Amino acid sequence: MNILLTGGAGFIGSNLARQLLKEGHQIICLDNLDTYYNPDHKWRNVQQTLNNRDYHFHEGDIRDSELVDTLFRTYAFDAVVHLAARAGVRPSVQDPALYYDVNVNGTLTLLQAMQRSGVSKMVFASSSSVYGDSPQVPFVETDTADRPLSPYAASKRAAELLCHTFHHLYGFDIFCLRFFTVYGPNQRPEMAISQFTDSILNGQAITVFGDGSTSRDYTYVDDIVSGIIRSLENLRGYEVLNIGGSDPISLADLIQVIERALGETAIINRLPMQPGDVQQTYADITKAAQLLGYQPTVRVEDGIQQFVDWYRARQDARFVMQ
C-alpha cells in the first residue's frame, strides 16, 4: 500500500513507519516537527528511515491545504493514517483554540483533500480521553462520549464526528481508534513514565497529582502499532474501536513498578489533581478483538522494564559520546 502517514515523525508514528516499511509498504510522512517537545527527538526518528527508498518525508502542517493537496496529487495514496495532533490534556486547557485548530481543522483539511482526490480510506488516531470521567468501566465504544473534560478530548471527539460525516456523505472507510495511554521506548519526554524514570535516576522528586489512586490503561507501543496495521487490513465502513491494554494500573502501583525496574526509590512531591484529568481509564477491547483479531501482548511490568532498559542504554550512549 501507498500510505500517507501524518505525524509520522512522532513516537507512535515512527514506530508504525518502521513496521510498515518492513511489510513492504510505501510511506509518505507528513510532520511539522512541532515544538510541543524538543523537535530533535522527532528528527532522530525520521533519520532512522530516511535511507529507505520507500520512505518519503515532508515537513509541513496538516492545516496547509495547498501542501496537502500537492501531496495527494503527487502520490497515489491507497490510505491515510492520521496520527498528527496537538497532544496533551493539561496544556489544552491553557490554549484551547490551538488544539481545536490543529486537531479539528487539520482533520477536516485531510478529509477534504481525500474527497477531492478520490482517496476513501483512513485510520484516525483518537483518544480514550473522549470518554471523560466515566464511572462505568471498562469503557465500551457504545458509551456516551459527550462530556469531555479537556479541550484536547473535545477536539478528538469532534474529529471523530467529522470522520463519520465524511463516511456518510462520501462512503469513506474510516476506523477511529481510541488509544489508551501509549508508552514504550522513545516515548515523548514529557509523559509520566519518562519524567518519573529520569527524575528517580537523578535523585530528584517526582510530581504526583492526587493521592495515587488514579488509574490508567497503559498500552505498549508495539500493541498500538499492531492495532493500526490490523485496522488497515480490515478497513471497511465506519467504526470506533478501543485499542488498549485492558489491564489498568493505579498511579501508586505504576511508580512501584518503575522503582523495581530501576532498583531505586522515588521521592514524591504530591500536588492536587489537575483540571482535565480523569480518575480512571479502562478499555473494553471486545470489539477490536472481534473485528481485527487484536490482542495486547505486553504486560505493564514487562513494558516498563523494556522502557527502562532502553532509557539506560540511551544514557550510557550519551556518556560514551561525551
Options 152, 183, 220, 311, the catalytic residue: 152
How many Cβ atoms are within 10 Å of 209's Cβ, its own excluded?
Answer: 15
Pairing, β 121-127 against β 79-82: parallel
135 Cβ partners below 8 Å, 6+ apart? none
The answer to whether the CB of 222 falls within 8 A of the CB of 298 is yes
Cα–Cα dist 58/181, whole Å: 27
Report how far apart, in Å, the C-alpha atoms of 275 and of each of 157, 164, 215 are.
18, 29, 16
Asked if 86 contacts 103 with a C-beta cutoff of 8 angstroms, the reply is yes
CB 33 within 8 A of CB 62: no
Rounded to the nearest 5°, which phi and psi values hold at 69? -60, -40
On the CB side of 77, CA atoms within 13 Å amount to: 32
- Identify whether 99 is a catalytic site residue: no
Neighbours of 20 (CB within 10 A): 24
Residue 309: helix, strand or coil by DSSP? helix
E strand intervals along the chain: 2-6, 26-31, 55-59, 79-82, 121-127, 173-179, 182-183, 205-209, 215-216, 219-220, 238-243, 249-250, 267-271
Question: Do you know the residue count of the chain?
Answer: 322
- In degrees, rounded to 5, the angle at the alpha carbon of residue 14 between the alpha carbons of residues 237 and 181 is 70
- Active-site residue set: 152
